[in-house]
A and B are shown apart, each in its own frame.
Chain A
Amino acid sequence: MSVKITLDGKEISAREGDNIIDTAANNGVYIPSLCYVKGKPCLGTCRTCSVKVNGKVMAACTIPVSEGMEIDVNGTEITDMRKALVELLFVEGNHNCPSCEKSGRCELQATGYEVDMMVSRFPYRFPVRTVDHASKTVWLERDRCIFCQRCVEFVRDKETGQKIFSIKGRGTESRIEIDAALADKMPAEQVREASDLCPVGCIVDKTQGFDAPIGKRKFEIKTIRERVLEGSTDEG
């Protein structure tokens, strides 16, 4: 059923039940997000897609549109809040883009550009996180994990449906874990999928790296904004 909503002051019609991110993208309005994957159930973990819905701040991926909804995406205050959320992610872990294999293909980096981040307003924490290389196929670079939980929910053992990745600990002690025995059963394509699904360079395919030269990397060919607005899901 079609409903009328207001998006950044413009009245538009939308399909009831669609979430705000997809509705906005269909109407040419980009909302950054790091955990939402189009076509998959929303996770609502990263909050980077925060918008104002009828004056309240909400994660756009979690909210289905309904009649008369007023959505503020690009207002000054909410735009700065989203930028602050991205800046927080950069100080929480150790995000050394120059040394990262995912650079140029990294959604966090691409989103940093979209929100015009030059520096973080928060103090850099430099947490001590250990790399897990127990699996034969996957490097787990915990420095880069942003706890989006995409891998936890969407990467599962093909036979049993069991989760391969999980989050252990709470608060600053939280860390991403990998079940090395299950991970070793993943076929090569699934390892590649998991690595592409990771919005940062935390899940790294041990067999591949630095494939594309600078200037020809994923988000240099087409920005994350263009990809979201096109509804593009290809990982090339």
Chain B
Amino acid sequence: MKDESVTEIFSHELPATAWDPAKKAIEDAKIQVAMIGFCGCWGCHLSFLDMDEAILGLLEKVTITRSSFTDLKRIPHHCTIGFIEGGIANDENIEVLEHYRENCDILISVGACAVWGGTPAMRNVVPLEECFREAYIDSPTAVPGAKKTIPYHSEIPKITNKVMPCHEVVKMDYFIPGCPPDGEAILKVLDDLVNGREVDLPSDINRYD
């Protein structure tokens, strides 16, 4: 992703306070989980928090590395579980999802967008050009008098023609449908994985809306 022709500093290259070695040893011994949101609304991440106090029990066994909660922007080392929210809607999403696949043993598609494209996939029945035209050229909310242009820059990810489910880009191991899934459903799948049980999402907590 880094463009060598321009001088840029990524946040993970900035100096940071070192972890307390004792605390780091405890966290390193736990099951490592990395999380990411692609083309979605982060609602599945909020649903993760919706498991309420059950999260305390879960965090006895797992530690969260890269995620929006920890504000870590890189996967620091190989992880066991990757929690993937959102569908794949641009080239950066593809690159990062592949990075997750390479660095996680198990990937879980969480929520309708990751599972089949979800609400963003509603644009799949409209040609991309028309989407851009509606959003930037013929937009009813465009600033009057402003130059009408579709934003383009080498650092802006390129939008894919269609929003894809994650499993059409890389192999996904488990799926939790729902928009968003209940915290209970997310907990059930993670708890099964963490405790070495076969993943089973019973029909009474499985839902698609």
Residue of A nearest to B206 (CB): A113
Determine if B177 and A119 form an interchain contact, defined as CB atoms under 8 angstroms apart: yes
Q: Is the interface of A mostly helix, strand, loop or mixed?
A: loop
Contact of A128 among B125, B176, B207 (CB under 8 A): B125
- Assuming the contacts A98-B119, A112-B208, A113-B207, asked whether A126 and B162 have C-beta atoms less than 8 A apart, the reply is yes
In the assembled complex, which residues on chain A have CB atoms less than 8 Å from the CB atom of B101? none
Q: Does A116 lie at the interface of the complex (its beta carbon under 8 Å from any beta carbon of B)?
A: yes
Of the four ranges (under 10, 10 to 19, 20 to 34, 35 or more), the interface on chain B belongs to 20 to 34
In the assembled complex, which residues on chain B have CB atoms less than 8 Å from the CB atom of A109? 208-209
B116, chain A: closest CB distance, angstroms: 5
Determine if B201 and A96 form an interchain contact, defined as CB atoms under 8 angstroms apart: no
Measured in the bound complex, the distance between the Cα atoms of B52 and A25 in whole Å is 40
User: Which residues of chain A in 97-155 are interfacial with respect to chain B, using CB atoms and an 8 Å cutoff?
Assistant: 97-100, 103-104, 109, 112-114, 116-120, 123-124, 126-129
Determine if A100 and B209 form an interchain contact, defined as CB atoms under 8 angstroms apart: yes
In the assembled complex, which residues on chain A have CB atoms less than 8 Å from the CB atom of B122? 94, 96, 99
Q: Does B37 lie at the interface of the complex (its beta carbon under 8 Å from any beta carbon of A)?
A: no
In the assembled complex, which residues on chain B have CB atoms less than 8 Å from the CB atom of A123? 168
Q: Does B112 lie at the interface of the complex (its beta carbon under 8 Å from any beta carbon of A)?
A: yes
In the assembled complex, which residues on chain A have CB atoms less than 8 Å from the CB atom of B115? 118-119
In the assembled complex, which residues on chain B have CB atoms less than 8 Å from the CB atom of A99? 119, 122
Q: B111-124 vs A: 1/0 string, CB under 8 Å?
A: 01001111101101
Q: Is the interface of B mostly helix, strand, loop or mixed?
A: mixed
In the assembled complex, which residues on chain B have CB atoms less than 8 Å from the CB atom of A124? 116-117, 121, 165
Determine if A97 and B175 form an interchain contact, defined as CB atoms under 8 angstroms apart: no
In the assembled complex, which residues on chain B have CB atoms less than 8 Å from the CB atom of A112? 208
In the assembled complex, which residues on chain A have CB atoms less than 8 Å from the CB atom of B109? 119
Measured in the bound complex, the distance between the Cα atoms of B167 and A128 in whole Å is 22
Measured in the bound complex, the distance between the Cα atoms of B204 and A100 in whole Å is 20
- Assuming the contacts A118-B206, A119-B109, A119-B177, asked whether A96 and B167 have C-beta atoms less than 8 A apart, the reply is no
Q: B161-175 vs A: 1/0 string, CB under 8 Å?
A: 010010110000011
User: Which residues of chain A in 80-100 are interfacial with respect to chain B, using CB atoms and an 8 Å cutoff?
Assistant: 90, 94-100
Measured in the bound complex, the distance between the Cα atoms of B163 and A94 in whole Å is 13
Residue of A nearest to B189 (CB): A118
User: Which residues of chain B in 123-181 are interfacial with respect to chain A, using CB atoms and an 8 Å cutoff?
Assistant: 124-125, 162, 165, 167-168, 174-177, 179
In the assembled complex, which residues on chain B have CB atoms less than 8 Å from the CB atom of A128? 125
In the assembled complex, which residues on chain A have CB atoms less than 8 Å from the CB atom of B124? 126
Determine if B203 and A127 form an interchain contact, defined as CB atoms under 8 angstroms apart: no
Contact of A119 among B119, B165, B209 (CB under 8 A): B165
Determine if A126 and B125 form an interchain contact, defined as CB atoms under 8 angstroms apart: yes
Residue of B nearest to A99 (CB): B119
**Residue of A109, A118, A120 most packed against chain B (CB within 10 A):** A118
Measured in the bound complex, the distance between the Cα atoms of B208 and A113 in whole Å is 9
- A/B interface sample: 23 pairs, CB < 8 A: A95-B208, A96-B118, A96-B119, A97-B112, A97-B179, A97-B208, A98-B112, A98-B119, A99-B122, A104-B209, A113-B204, A113-B206, A113-B207, A114-B203, A116-B201, A116-B203, A116-B206, A118-B175, A124-B121, A126-B121, A126-B125, A127-B125, A214-B209
B residues in contact (CB < 8 Å) with A: 109, 112, 115-119, 121-122, 124-125, 162, 165, 167-168, 174-177, 179, 201, 203-204, 206-209
A residues in contact (CB < 8 Å) with B: 90, 94-100, 103-104, 109, 112-114, 116-120, 123-124, 126-129, 214, 223
Beyond contacts A96-B119, A97-B179, A119-B165: 14 other A-B pairs, Cβ-Cβ < 8 A, are A95-B208, A97-B207, A97-B209, A98-B112, A98-B209, A103-B209, A104-B209, A109-B208, A112-B208, A113-B203, A113-B204, A113-B206, A116-B201, A118-B176
